[in-house]
Structures are given as structure tokens and as C-alpha cells.
Amino acid sequence: MAYGTFTEVFFYLFVTLIIFGALVAVSSPILMKAVMGLAMAMFGVAGLYLYLNSPFLALMQILIYVGAVCIMIVFGIMVGYTPKELAAYAVGPKNTVLALIASLLTIGVLQFGILKTVWVQASGAGAGDYSLAHLGETLMVRYGLAFELISVVLLIAIVGAVAITWNGKRGGLSK
């Protein structure tokens, strides 16, 4: 029982980390601080995976989201516009409303998906094969097409990034 409450403490610690990090990410006017908040939230998510006894997923979360995605965002900030240039683009109430709608929609869709899915318990009696080897095989064979489509999305993102920089080279923010 004591062991259970001990791990509970960690659960709430990670949740606090996620919420605090997310709040920093959305409320900080300094972009670098916002990225650090995001990294903190990602760490929290990795901690939750660890809490759920999935170390592989937790480490991948750190490797990809903290080590790569956050760094990429910082890259974007560094090569992007200076704070002075950004200040010229004041965020009006229209943006706030649009952002609110977009985030609420995302939450709604995710929540719908989570509530609609019938979750199978991975551990315990009658559970199927949930090992990493099985996961890898499923991803590469059974859902191979979906997996490849995701990489096409990434390719489009790269092309888009090149296109945006190309434009920036000529005219900058004012086009």
C-alpha cells in the first residue's frame, strides 16, 4: 500500500509538470521560454509513460520530442523573425478567437476518439501480444501504408519549409 501511494506521488508530479510546462508554453511572451515550457511538458509526458511501465515509449518521447522537435522549434526561432519584426504583427482579438476555436476543436476530436475507443488491457489474462517486436511488425507490415503516408506528410513539411524560406529570402515578412 505504501508503495502504491509512493508511485501515486510520482503520477501527480508528472501531471503537475505537464500542466505547468504547458502553461509556460502558452503564456510566455518570450518564445525561447515557451519552448522550454514545451520541453518540460514533454518530459512530463515521458514520465507518465514510465509510470505506465512503458520505458521504450518514454525514452522515444525524450529522444524525439525533447531532443529533436524542441530543438527544431528553436532553430525556427533563431532563423525566424526578430522580436522587433514580430511586434509589428500585433495579435488581435480575431487571432485569439481563431486560436481558441482551433484548440477546442483539437481537444474535442481527441476526446471523442479517446471516449469512443474500446481500450484493451495490455497486461493480464486474455491479452494479446503487446511486445515491442509485435508492435514493430504491425507498424511495418499491417499498417505499412499508413506508416509510409506519415513520411509523405513529413516530406511535404520539408518542401513547405524550403518554400517558405525561399520566399523569406526575397521579400521578408512584408512579402
Contacting positions for other proteins (CB under 8 A) = 32-33, 36, 39, 55-56, 59-60, 62-63, 66-68, 70-72, 74-75, 78
Residue with Cβ nearer other proteins (32 or 107): 32
- In this complex, which beta carbon is closest to other proteins, that of residue 78 or of residue 115? 78
Do 128 and 120 meet the contact criterion of CB atoms below 8 Å apart? yes
CA distances from 89 to 3, 10, 61, 82, 157 (A): 53, 42, 34, 12, 24
* Residue with smaller CB distance to other proteins, 18 or 43: 43
Give, rounded to a whole angstrom, the gap between the first and last alpha carbons of the chain. Answer: 63
Helix (H) or strand (E) run with residue 128 in it: none
Min dist. Cβ of residue 114 to other proteins (A): 27
As measured in angstroms, the least distance from the Cβ of 136 to other proteins is 10
CB of 4 to other proteins, least distance (A): 15
Enumerate residues 6+ apart whose C-beta is below 8 A from 163: none
Q: Which is nearer to other proteins, 18 or 38 (CB)?
A: 38
Distance, CA of 86 to CA of 161 (rounded, Å): 19
Least separation in angstroms between CB 120 and other proteins: 23
